[in-house]
């Protein structure tokens, strides 16, 4: 791929990306969240059609123009996405040949279906009957079904987007072994991953992306794989004055959890959040760094009235005294607020106006004996609009028409009206332009200065380093490291994550 | 010179005001559109039936015929706004009517205890269905479809396939009684007229007061001409209605019941935290839940409320026919649900007004009544009603897509 550039409205996702993969290699693509890895792979596989990007895709020595996935698959380029695209209610065989069924005049040839499925399953080393429902398989085995599906399409270039993110060690190991075996059979692979040990084990070459551009290329056959070099190239950008200055005034411990555990609703037998100890002092901004899927949001939501997870266990303390956070309502009453990462889906009622969204979490605060005091509600909405500088035509404007930054301010207003002592902010600046980000940072700093505790989850590491007094690093459901805000560097955080064995 | 300068400026403000008025109209087209369509449909049938529609006797009948639909539409609106649907209301009407009938006729239970038992049964039915929907997370469509079959069957069991009646006179008053009139003239129930005028005056006073306090707070309000037109027309309609009713037997009990219930539900929906929560749950269930609202409880009580109102409708309907029949309530759910959607409720939840549902119920009612007077067969009536429902929702969808 040469000089690929892809823009979305208002954002340049990829710019000057070069990626060259030799036949028969396993080529690792690394980069931070949002560096453009997934976008690049979508360009390569034809999800974004020819014409929606600039630059060239060269395959087998010829420039290719894919209009859709079918075009790239015809050449043997198959992508396996992070979120698996299998139909859980269908069998393994039906999934492998979905849209491509061996059939005569539209009637599916069941014998051929079963025989060919068995052969493919043997190839990927999955010991299961072809008529097993995919939904009954674990994630690791589903991953193998995806690969079998790719093989059924005569794959020549296999793209795997973080295939081991949701696998345990044993399944990851099996998958990597399979990749090596496929390489021996002549299949070329692009492996997107965050895990350094996987790269060391299987990669023949490494390309590093940062901010939508290629920044480094390593040939592992001629050079030793240098952790230092990969990490530095992944994160190495300057921190400029993007964060408002603040002088932290940190008080006594405000909130703490001890031995916090929670299980995934789909896998209640296994702890997803494991034995987390965490504390936030008054006036302190504590960051939680980690990769996607590391359990940051899940931890936050399980603390916030068990909004996520089953078998949530552990002790929570506010001002040193144990508190009951068993329901969301209870958590809100104790002064805990959770600003969701999914602003539109879970933060706002989009067709309702600014006023109604502002008071939603504290209706009792604008009512007497259950009857709304609308003049009072109006005054409060106007007040927040002024304080947070929410730009809207009026507080009777539906929030759906506001920009991302102003929507986020409405969500903040909603939670500030509950007068929280601890604010958990989940990706507070995701999808917000630079100017609005600065305003949000200022508000966060102001809230901390008022003596509230702030727990801030972010995938934007410079943001965490720029804002936080302390940064905890999370991986696979545990806190694995902690850095003082001043001492934290992106290199150190990435190293902590990549060296974590997951035990 | 000065005048020449001022004139264009004056014209400019006038133009701006007109523009503001137009913009407001565009945004609230739906609200006024509802009232206008009701008025248009009434005028249409008034013409088509050669004036029969608005005759005192017919107006009284129209109200009696639609009371149970209106009562159920109040509950259905909340269920739909909360993001659900209730298909069982027609069967609950039949079941509760049968229950009360069997109690009164076969077991000599008094009208009041029988009515109370009926209402309690409705609450229990609503609670059972609400529990399945809210806590067991079974889609409301399925739960209430099952309820529709179950309660239809139970009504048949209670009645043993026969009609049961007649009822004590006190029970019939629920539906066919009229308010006692202290100043009854030979041809005119003057008390009813006075009451109607008083209600209109109260409405006028309240509207003016609300507008004043809104203006003081810079709350958004409708432009003055629209306000004046809307309030004066509503007051005039109220006075005219009470005049027509006074020419016959006065105010029916059930009209008073309906009026009071409508006011209470409109108040609850628009002015209480409870109402706000229902709209929040239907608008975005996740956001409501993460804001500390007990979303399951809200859905549960929406169904309990629906059960009670269906039971009340069942009592009214039985009292009106003076007998409980196995066929009572058949197909009512369709009229009730149609009333809500014609009244502007959104099928995806979170949007809808109590007053809209009531107007929607009367649109259906006037069409039913008007077409019956004209002698249009039940076959064509169904077709026309179906098309009107489709058209009303189409206007909604089209309006939304354009914005």
Structural domain spans, chain A? 2-235, 253-335+420-500
d(CA B258, CA B327): 24
Please judge whether B219 and A375 are an interchain contact, meaning their C-beta atoms are less than 8 angstroms apart: yes
* A253-335+420-500 carries CATH number 3.40.50.300: yes
Tokens 């309240």 belong to which residue?
Answer: B206
Answer yes or no: are the C-beta atoms of A11 and A40 closer than 8 Å.
Answer: no
B276 contact A CB<8A: yes
| Window from A233-242, A447-456, B108-117, B152-161 with minimum mean pLDDT | A233-242
B350 contact A CB<8A: yes
For residue A414, give the nearest of B216, B271, B291 by CB distance: B291
Longest dimension (CA), chain A: 76
Please judge whether A350 and B284 are an interchain contact, meaning their C-beta atoms are less than 8 angstroms apart: yes
Euclidean distance between the first and the last CA atom of chain A, given in angstroms as a whole number: 38
Whether the ω angle into residue B239 lies within 30 degrees of 0, i.e. cis, is no
d(CA A403, CA A148): 44
B283 contact A CB<8A: yes
**How high is the pLDDT of residue A11?**
60
CB pairs under 8 A between A and B: 88
Mean pLDDT of A362-368: 93
A329 contact B CB<8A: yes
**What is the nearest CA distance from B282 to chain A, expressed in angstroms?**
9
- For chain A, the helix, strand and coil percentages under 3-state DSSP, each to the nearest 5: 35, 25, 35
Count CB atoms within 10 A of the CB of residue A211.
15
Mean pLDDT of A358-366: 94
**How high is the pLDDT of residue A212?**
81
**How high is the pLDDT of residue A194?**
73
B292 contact A CB<8A: yes
DSSP string, A45-111: TTSS-TTSEEEEEEETTEEE--SSHHHHHHTTEEEE-SS----TTSBHHHHHTTTS--EETTEE-HH
pLDDT, tens digit only, all 403 positions of chain B: 344 444 455 556 667 677 777 777 766 766 677 788 888 899 999 999 898 888 888 998 899 889 999 999 999 999 999 999 999 999 999 999 999 999 999 999 999 999 999 999 999 999 999 999 999 999 999 999 999 999 999 999 999 989 998 999 889 888 888 888 777 777 788 888 888 899 899 989 988 888 887 777 666 667 788 888 888 888 898 898 888 888 888 888 899 899 999 999 999 999 999 999 999 999 999 999 999 999 999 999 999 999 999 999 999 999 999 999 999 999 899 999 999 999 989 888 999 999 999 999 999 999 989 999 999 988 899 899 899 889 888 877 777 665 5
Measured between beta carbons, the chain A residues lying within 8 angstroms of B286 are 342, 345-346
**What is the nearest CA distance from A362 to chain B, expressed in angstroms?**
8
A328 contact B CB<8A: yes
Answer yes or no: are the C-beta atoms of B303 and B314 closer than 8 Å.
Answer: no
The SS3 call for residue B347 is: coil
d(CA B197, CA B208): 17
Mean pLDDT of A173-198: 87
**What is the nearest CA distance from B304 to chain A, expressed in angstroms?**
19
Please judge whether A360 and B274 are an interchain contact, meaning their C-beta atoms are less than 8 angstroms apart: no
Greater confidence (A8 vs A222) lies with A222
A383 contact B CB<8A: no
The SS3 call for residue B187 is: coil
Residues 104-123 of B with CB under 8 A from A: none
For residue A340, give the nearest of B217, B218, B290 by CB distance: B290
d(CA A348, CA A357): 6
Measured between beta carbons, the chain B residues lying within 8 angstroms of A424 are none
Q: Which CATH architecture has domain A2-235?
A: 3-Layer(aba) Sandwich (3.40)
Measured between beta carbons, the chain B residues lying within 8 angstroms of A396 are 219-220
Measured between beta carbons, the chain A residues lying within 8 angstroms of B347 are none
The candidate with the shortest Cα–Cα distance to A26, out of A132, A177, A245, is A177
Please judge whether A374 and B271 are an interchain contact, meaning their C-beta atoms are less than 8 angstroms apart: yes
**What is the nearest CA distance from A351 to chain B, expressed in angstroms?**
8
**How high is the pLDDT of residue A432?**
76
- Which chain A residue is nearest to residue B218, measuring alpha carbons? A378
Answer yes or no: are the C-beta atoms of A388 and A415 closer than 8 Å.
Answer: no
Mean pLDDT of A351-376: 93
Answer yes or no: are the C-beta atoms of A377 and A333 closer than 8 Å.
Answer: no
**How high is the pLDDT of residue B27?**
66
**How high is the pLDDT of residue B129?**
97
**How high is the pLDDT of residue A489?**
87
B297 contact A CB<8A: no
Mean pLDDT of A482-486: 88
B290 contact A CB<8A: yes
**How high is the pLDDT of residue A414?**
96
Residues 406-445 of A with CB under 8 A from B: 414
Measured between beta carbons, the chain A residues lying within 8 angstroms of B277 are 363
Answer yes or no: are the C-beta atoms of B358 and B78 closer than 8 Å.
Answer: no
- Which chain B residue is nearest to residue A412, measuring alpha carbons? B291
Answer yes or no: are the C-beta atoms of A350 and B279 closer than 8 Å.
Answer: no
Top-ranked range on mean pLDDT: pick from A24-38, A87-101, B122-136:
B122-136
- Provide the pLDDT confidence category of residue A2 given band limits of 50, 70 and 90: confident
B349 contact A CB<8A: no
B403 contact A CB<8A: no
Measured between beta carbons, the chain B residues lying within 8 angstroms of A411 are none
Please judge whether A347 and B276 are an interchain contact, meaning their C-beta atoms are less than 8 angstroms apart: no
Percentage of chain A surpassing pLDDT 90?
Answer: 37
d(CA A99, CA A153): 11
A367 contact B CB<8A: yes
Measured between beta carbons, the chain A residues lying within 8 angstroms of B349 are none
Tokens (6 digits) for A392: 């809207």
How many helices (H) and strands (E) are present in chain B, helices listed first?
Answer: 17, 0
- Provide the pLDDT confidence category of residue A236 given band limits of 50, 70 and 90: low
**How high is the pLDDT of residue B193?**
87
B1 contact A CB<8A: no
For residue B287, give the nearest of A331, A346, A372 by CB distance: A346
Q: b/e map of A123-152 (b: 16 or more CB within 10 Å)?
A: bbebebebebebeebeebbbbbbbbbbbbb
Query: Parallel, antiparallel, or unpaired for β A453-457 and A62-64?
Result: unpaired
The candidate with the shortest Cα–Cα distance to B316, out of B174, B167, B152, is B174
Tokens (6 digits) for A279: 């504390």
Please judge whether A351 and B279 are an interchain contact, meaning their C-beta atoms are less than 8 angstroms apart: no
d(CA A77, CA A100): 16
Measured between beta carbons, the chain A residues lying within 8 angstroms of B288 are 349, 360
Mutate: best of A339, A349, A359, partner B, most B CBs <10 A: A349
Greater confidence (B401 vs A150) lies with A150
Mutate: best of B292, B296, B350, B351, partner A, most A CBs <10 A: B292
A141 contact B CB<8A: no
ipTM: 0.86
């Amino acid at each position: 791929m040469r000089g690929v550039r892809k823009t979305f409205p208002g954002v340049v996702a990829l710019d000057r990306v070069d990626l060259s993969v030799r036949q028969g290699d396993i080529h690792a693509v690394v980069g931070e969240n949002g560096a453009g890895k997934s976008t690049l792979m979508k360009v390569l596989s034809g999800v974004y059609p020819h014409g929606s990007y600039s630059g060239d895709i060269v395959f087998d020595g010829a420039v290719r123009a894919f209009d859709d996935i079918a075009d790239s698959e015809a050449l043997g380029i198959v992508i396996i996405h992070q979120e698996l695209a299998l139909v859980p209610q269908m069998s393994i065989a039906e999934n492998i040949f979905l849209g491509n069924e061996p059939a005569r005049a539209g009637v599916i040839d069941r014998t051929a279906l079963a025989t060919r499925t068995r052969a493919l399953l043997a190839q990927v080393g999955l010991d299961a009957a072809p008529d097993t429902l995919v939904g009954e398989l674990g994630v690791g085995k589903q991953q193998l079904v995806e690969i079998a599906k790719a093989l059924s399409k005569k794959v020549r270039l296999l793209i795997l987007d973080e295939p081991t993110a949701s696998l345990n060690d044993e399944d990851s190991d099996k998958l990597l072994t399979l990749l090596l075996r496929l390489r021996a059979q002549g299949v070329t692979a692009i492996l997107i991953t965050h895990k350094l040990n996987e790269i060391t084990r299987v990669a023949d070459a490494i390309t590093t992306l940062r901010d939508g551009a290629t920044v480094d290329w390593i040939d592992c056959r001629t050079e030793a794989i240098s952790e230092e070099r990969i990490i530095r190239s992944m994160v190495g950008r300057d921190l400029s004055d993007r964060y408002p200055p603040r002088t932290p005034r940190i008080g006594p411990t405000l909130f703490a959890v001890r031995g916090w555990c929670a299980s995934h609703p789909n896998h209640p037998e296994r702890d997803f959040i494991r034995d987390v100890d965490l504390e936030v002092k008054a006036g302190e901004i504590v960051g939680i760094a980690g990769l996607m899927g590391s359990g940051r949001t899940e931890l936050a939501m399980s603390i916030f009235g068990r909004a996520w997870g089953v078998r949530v266990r552990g002790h929570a303390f506010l001002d040193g005294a144990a508190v009951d956070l068993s329901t969301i309502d209870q958590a809100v009453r104790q002064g805990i607020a959770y600003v969701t990462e999914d602003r539109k889906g879970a933060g706002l009622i989009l067709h309702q106006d600014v006023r109604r969204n502002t008071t939603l979490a504290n209706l009792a605060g604008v009512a007497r004996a259950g009857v709304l005091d609308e003049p009072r509600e109006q005054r409060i909405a106007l007040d927040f609009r002024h304080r947070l500088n929410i730009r809207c035509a009026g507080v009777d404007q539906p929030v759906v028409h506001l920009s991302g930054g102003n929507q986020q301010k409405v969500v903040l207003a909603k939670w500030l009206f509950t007068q929280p002592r601890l604010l958990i902010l989940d990706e507070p600046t995701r999808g917000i332009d630079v100017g609005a980000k600065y305003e949000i940072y200022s508000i966060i700093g102001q809230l901390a200065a008022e003596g509230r505790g702030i727990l801030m989850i972010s995938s934007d590491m410079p943001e965490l380093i720029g804002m936080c007094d302390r940064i905890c690093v999370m991986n696979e459901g545990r806190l694995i490291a902690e850095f003082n805000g001043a001492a934290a560097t992106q290199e150190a955080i990435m190293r902590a994550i990549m060296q974590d064995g997951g035990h | 010179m000065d005048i020449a300068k001022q004139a264009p400026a004056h014209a400019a403000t006038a133009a701006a005001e007109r523009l503001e008025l137009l913009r407001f109209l565009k945004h609230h087209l739906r609200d006024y559109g509802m009232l206008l369509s009701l008025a248009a449909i009434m005028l249409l049938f008034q013409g088509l039936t050669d004036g029969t529609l608005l005759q005192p006797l017919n107006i009284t009948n129209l109200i009696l015929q639609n009371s149970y639909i209106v009562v159920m539409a109040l509950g259905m609106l909340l269920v739909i706004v909360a993001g659900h649907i209730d298909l069982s209301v027609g069967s609950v009407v039949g079941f509760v009517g049968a229950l009360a009938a069997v109690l009164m006729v076969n077991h000599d239970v008094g009208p009041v205890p029988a009515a109370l038992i009926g209402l309690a049964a409705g609450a229990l039915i609503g609670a059972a269905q609400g529990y399945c929907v809210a806590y067991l997370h079974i889609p409301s469509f399925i739960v209430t479809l099952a309820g529709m079959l179950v309660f239809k069957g139970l009504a048949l069991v209670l009645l043993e396939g026969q009609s049961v009646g007649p009822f004590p006179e006190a029970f019939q008053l629920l539906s066919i009684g009229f308010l006692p009139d202290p100043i009854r003239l030979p041809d005119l129930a003057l008390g009813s007229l006075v009451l109607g005028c008083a209600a209109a005056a109260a409405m006028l006073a309240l509207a003016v007061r609300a507008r004043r306090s809104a203006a003081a707070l810079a709350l958004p309000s409708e432009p003055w001409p629209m306000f004046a037109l809307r309030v004066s027309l509503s007051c005039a309609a109220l006075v005219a209605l009470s005049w027509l009713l006074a020419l016959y037997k006065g105010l029916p009990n059930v009209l008073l019941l309906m009026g009071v219930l409508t006011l209470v539900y409109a108040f609850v929906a628009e002015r209480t935290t409870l109402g706000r929560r229902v709209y929040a749950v239907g608008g975005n269930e996740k956001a409501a839940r993460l804001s500390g609202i007990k979303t399951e409880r809200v859905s549960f009580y929406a169904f309990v409320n629906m059960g009670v109102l269906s039971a009340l409708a069942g009592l009214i309907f039985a009292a009106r026919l003076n007998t409980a029949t196995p066929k009572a309530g058949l197909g009512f759910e369709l009229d009730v649900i149609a009333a809500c959607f014609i009244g502007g409720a959104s099928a995806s939840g979170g949007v809808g007004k109590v007053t809209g549902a009531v107007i929607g119920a009367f649109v259906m009612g006037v069409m039913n009544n008007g077409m019956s007077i004209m002698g249009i067969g039940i076959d064509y009536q169904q077709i026309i009603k179906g098309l009107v429902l489709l058209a009303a929702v189409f206007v909604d969808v089209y309006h939304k897509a354009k914005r």
